[in-house]
Chain A
Amino acid sequence: GQNIDQPTEMTATEGAIVQINCTYQTSGFNGLFWYQQHAGEAPTFLSYNVLDGLEEKGRFSSFLSRSKGYSYLLLKELQMKDSASYLCAVRDPDQAGTALIFGKGTTLSVSS
């Protein structure tokens, strides 16, 4: 079956670094995405990994290990506005079209 796991909640302080882990078991794999979602809003794209390794984009980095079915999102120099839900999603080519399978999301709370 399809399964994507990530922690439900995390807390951190401004200026800190936080790592949000995601593990997945899917029948197929064609890329892993991280999205940020503020309450009541649609998800916004953060990163995409299809090959093993680290992708860095400003304060955000994402890592993928396909053999381990594992990814993490690393947020540096945390700001209050980073308080949001972070969704890990896998594109499974065995699913219809290029639809994404989402995890339940990790709610990150950043305090001062």
Chain B
Amino acid sequence: GAVVSQHPSRVICKSGTSVKIECRSLDFQATTMFWYRQFPKQSLMLMATSNEGSKATYEQGVEKDKFLINHASLTLSTLTVTSAHPEDSSFYICSASLLAGVDEQFFGPGTRLTVL
């Protein structure tokens, strides 16, 4: 099956700093990548949809200036949490689709962000 990687797997940062999370599709080209956030014992909540070469589409309530998404190539999308605060501490997961409408999304292993 298709493999999606995320880096880093864990990050601890100070409040006010910025953190970049990378999501890569290793053996396929992903036209669309998705960024989810999951708080403890909660479901995955979609943050944004990222399409290569175009601006990301953000879900309602997600600040696009705080969560910067760059989908520079068909195999790489990055999420930058700017001026992170403790309430941004969460599990961030990306997923990728081979083609729009295909059956399956492939999830990355997730990034645990802790903001002190």
Contact = CB atoms under 8 A, between A and B. Distances in A.
Interface of A: 30-31, 33, 35, 40-45, 48, 50, 87, 89, 95-105
Contacts of B93: 42-43
Given A43-B44, A104-B43, A30 B101 contact: yes
B43 A100 contact: no
Interface magnitude class on chain B? 20 to 34
B51 interface: yes
Interface of A is mostly: loop
Contact of A97 (B32, B44, B106, B110): B32
B100 A97 contact: yes
B98 to A, nearest CB: 10
B29 to A, nearest CB: 15
Contacts, number: 63
Given A41-B109, A42-B93, A42-B109, A99 B46 contact: yes
B108 A100 contact: no
B83 interface: no
A97 to B, nearest CB: 4
Interface of B: 32, 34, 36, 42-46, 49, 51, 57, 59, 91, 93, 97, 100-110, 112
Given A43-B93, A98-B100, A103-B43, 7 more contacts: A42-B108, A42-B109, A48-B103, A96-B49, A98-B101, A102-B36, A104-B42
22 contacts: A30-B101, A40-B112, A41-B109, A43-B93, A45-B105, A45-B106, A48-B103, A48-B104, A50-B103, A87-B44, A97-B49, A97-B51, A97-B97, A97-B100, A98-B102, A99-B46, A99-B49, A100-B44, A100-B105, A101-B46, A102-B36, A102-B45
